[in-house]
Amino acid sequence: MVDERISRIAEILVDYSTQIKKGDRVQLVTDYEAKDLALEVYKLSLQRGAYVRVKTDLPGRAYIFYKYASEDQIKHFPEVEYFEIKNTDVYIAIRAPDNVKELSNIDPKKIADRYKVLKPILDWRVEKTRWVIFYYPTNALAQEAGMSLQEFEDFVFSACLVDWKKMVEDMRRIKEAIDNTDKVVIESSDTHLEFSVKGRRSVMGDGTKNMPDGEVFTSVVEDSVNGEIYFDIPAVYMGNVVEGIYLKFKDGLVVEAKARENEEFLLKMLETDRGSKRIGEFGIGLNYNITRPVKNILFDEKIGGTIHLALGRGYEETLSKNESAIHWDMIKDLRKDGKIYFDGKLVMEKGRWLI
């Protein structure tokens, strides 16, 4: 018997997040451990009249590729995968990793080089399909979060099974304020950062791209970022955990970068390309059902009372002009002593919004 909560998540992914309808070409990408949810999504998609292509990844496949692939294979563009995404209306990814550290000892340059090659496929998926990503509870994710599997299941389902219409109403007030703002200032005991969002477009993370969701995000005027920020929540990228990140910006560029742990990886990622030292996204976490970090960006960037900045590629829908092969979200917790100002007006203090 499938957990009733899994059936409810499947309904959210199919009927709310992607709104699958008759005739849609659906690409369902899943890991084997998520088979219960994947089969529920598959069944519902068929019942809605869609044409469904299921792709299941193998544990360890990514590690083997990056360890043994030649430079020519790393830089080879997968034409078949590009054809698939160009003929896809809905893309649903259900991740269920059995080892979140799988790529920790792989040269990050190889991974960055591969992401550069795959960028047209990623861009098409992000900009031209209805897509959603969900992380299915596994022992690996639970261990990373410091929880038992049952505790992590409760955590995940609590973050997702919420009143999305009510959350959207609350987020809309924040969105309207951002859209009428020029200068943003973020302050705490270890941070003073300012930038402009004038002329950019904010987007509500309402559960139609990520599940769980609950954020408002926009882009920044690329050369307007100045000041320094300390990220007190671990930043995870491609299986690598970097803790205690400090960044200093001048006229939009990172001019100084340090980390308490895994600094080498941070510095390599910053050298990926011209856009990797600039901010592509400014986001605000507004899901107050998520109260603690679990070293998974899908959850951590939504924590109510936090903000996040993404180095690298910005989203076209936010009118970002920053191009990069990477998009790395880093999270700042403002619940202890943080403040946010919009055009000089205090709008958030200690994680709570005053709007």
Residue-wise pLDDT tens digits, 149-198: 999 999 999 999 998 889 999 899 999 999 999 999 999 999 999 999 99
Phi, psi of 85, rounded to the nearest 5 degrees: -70, -30
Q: How confident is the model at residue 252 (pLDDT cuts 50, 70, 90)?
A: very high
In terms of DSSP bridges, do strands 253-258 and 245-250 run parallel, antiparallel, or are they unpaired?
A: antiparallel
Residues 299-316 pLDDT 10s: 999 999 999 999 999 998
Produce one character per residue of 103-125: b if its CB has 16 or more CB atoms within 10 Å, e if not: beebebebbbbbbbebbebeeeb
Question: Measured between alpha carbons, how far is 329 from 254 in angstroms, rounded to an integer?
Answer: 15
Question: Measured between alpha carbons, how far is 298 from 321 in angstroms, rounded to an integer?
Answer: 24
Residues 39-56 pLDDT 10s: 999 999 999 999 999 999
Average pLDDT of the residues in 256-274: 95
Whether the CB-CB separation of 222 and 322 falls below 8 Å is answered with yes
Q: Which residues contact 239 (CB under 8 A, 6 or more apart)?
A: 100, 101, 102, 103, 104
- Report DSSP state, residue 16: I
Class of domain 4-160: alpha beta
Q: How confident is the model at residue 112 (pLDDT cuts 50, 70, 90)?
A: confident
Q: From residue 258, give the alpha-carbon distance in Å to each of 112, 218, 263.
A: 20, 25, 6
For the chain, what is the radius of gyration of the CA atoms? 20
Token output for 241: 């955990």
For the chain, the average pLDDT equals 95
Which of 50-64, 108-122, 208-222 comes out lowest in average pLDDT?
Answer: 108-122
Q: How confident is the model at residue 104 (pLDDT cuts 50, 70, 90)?
A: confident
Any idea where the domains of the chain sit in the sequence? 4-160, 164-353
Strand ordering across the sheet containing 183-188: 253-258, 245-250, 226-231, 191-196, 183-188, 339-342, 345-349, 352-353
For helices 79-86 and 108-128, the axis angle rounded to 10 degrees is 20
